């Protein structure tokens, strides 16, 4: 009986050990890949997390060797008061005890969706443990990571600047500056508009709003043109619902998976504070599609734009109303 128990225990122990040794190590997260890219002491980690098409283009142009040298110089040494964190709300923390200054790089959002992960970062500075309001003017950065050949690659970088108009320090600097330049305040001059002038005001306001959206509209129309060209070039496929198929940064000849019709930033689906999505390519070949550009982040609250294979661009407050009865944009 004892021999059977020992034998059974040995088999069980062997099975557990064999299972443990055959398990693959946990896959690196997008956040870990980003940290390795910029903070690792090992050579080659920067280039390892660049897209293959980027490396191919750099190698073809002869700039890859210069990039290797540049990445080796710019990678931040992880030593002293410099700390990185693979999990949690803080990505990077730098503490200087001599000046009682501390800088934290905070992960505001980590949006993982399939093979895409967008990591939003912001900067926070502390003096003697007190948050410094001046850091609220620092740019917020989004690193868009994309899985490629089993490795997270840096696909796009988006930088936005937020200026809090209710910040007391900012208001004091602005008002002090205005007072020093303008001198004592003078009574305002009231002008009564005649009817023709009053009729012009809505037109001026409309032009101002459209001016704010001009870059987004240009991106929408660029995708529409690319879809038309793509469907004509690859009639067996028709329209594509994968923006990456329209990507314009790569080596070799254009093909149906990289037609080289739009820039990589726009092909990543995020630009000018908007998210771009294409859907409805159900048939084969696809004879229709639906493009929607929705505001996010700093652009939140602005108009949503939509379009389809007809080429007509519409706008509305949200995606559903834009598709159903959006207002055509001239």
All structural domains of the chain with their residue ranges:
30-161, 211-328
Least reliable range by pLDDT among 90-94, 231-235, 284-288, 325-329: 90-94
CATH T-level fold of 30-161: Nuclear Transport Factor 2; Chain: A, (3.10.450)
Q: What is the rounded CA–CA span in Å between residue 3 and residue 237?
A: 67
Strands 101-113 and 116-127: antiparallel
pTM: 0.45
- Closest by CA to 244, choosing from 143, 144, 121, 109, is 144
Reported as a pLDDT band with limits 50, 70 and 90, residue 281 is very high
**Per-residue pLDDT tens for 17-37?**
544 444 455 689 999 998 888
Q: What is the pLDDT of residue 243?
A: 93
Is there a contact between 268 and 243 (Cβ–Cβ < 8 Å)? yes
Do residues 309 and 303 lie in contact, with contact meaning Cβ atoms separated by under 8 Å? no
Structure tokens at 74: 């710019």
Place of tokens 């700039």: 63
H helix or E strand, kind and range, residue 151: strand 151-161
- Residues 84 and 35: their CA atoms lie apart, in Å, by 8
Q: Bridge partners of 307?
A: 291, 313
Q: Cβ(122)–Cβ(136) under 8 Å?
A: no
Burial of 200 (0-12, 13-18, 19+ CB in 10 A): exposed
The predicted structure's pLDDT at residue 233: 93
């Amino acid at each position: 009986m004892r021999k059977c128990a020992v034998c059974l225990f040995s088999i069980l122990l062997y099975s557990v050990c064999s299972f443990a040794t055959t398990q693959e190590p946990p896959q690196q997260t997008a956040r870990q890949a980003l940290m390795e890219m910029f903070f690792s002491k090992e050579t080659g980690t920067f280039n390892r997390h660049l897209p293959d098409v980027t490396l191919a283009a750099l190698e073809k142009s002869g700039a890859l060797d210069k990039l290797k040298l540049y990445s080796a110089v710019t990678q931040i040494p992880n030593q002293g008061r410099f700390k990185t964190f693979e999990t949690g709300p803080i990505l990077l923390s730098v503490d200087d005890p001599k000046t009682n200054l501390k800088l934290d790089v905070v992960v505001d959002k980590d949006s993982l969706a399939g093979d895409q992960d967008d990591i939003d970062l912001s900067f926070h500075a502390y003096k003697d443990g007190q948050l410094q309001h001046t850091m609220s003017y620092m740019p917020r950065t989004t690193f868009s990571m994309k899985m490629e050949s089993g490795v997270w690659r840096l696909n796009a970088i988006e930088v936005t600047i937020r200026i809090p108009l209710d910040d007391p320090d900012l208001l004091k600097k602005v008002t002090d500056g205005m007072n020093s330049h303008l001198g004592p305040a003078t009574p305002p001059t009231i002008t009564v508009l005649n009817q023709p002038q009053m009729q012009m005001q809505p037109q001026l306001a409309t032009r101002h709003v459209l001016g704010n959206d001009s870059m987004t509209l240009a991106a929408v129309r660029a995708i529409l043109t690319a879809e038309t060209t793509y469907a004509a070039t690859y009639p067996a496929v028709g329209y594509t619902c994968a923006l990456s198929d329209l990507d314009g940064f790569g080596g070799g000849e254009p093909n149906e998976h990289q037609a080289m019709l739009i820039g990589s930033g726009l092909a990543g689906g995020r630009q000018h504070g908007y998210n771009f999505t294409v859907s409805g390519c159900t048939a084969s070949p696809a004879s229709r599609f639906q493009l929607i550009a929705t505001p996010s982040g700093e652009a939140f609250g602005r108009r949503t734009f939509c379009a389809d294979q007809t080429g007509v661009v519409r706008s509305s407050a949200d995606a559903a109303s834009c598709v159903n009865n959006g207002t055509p944009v001239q």
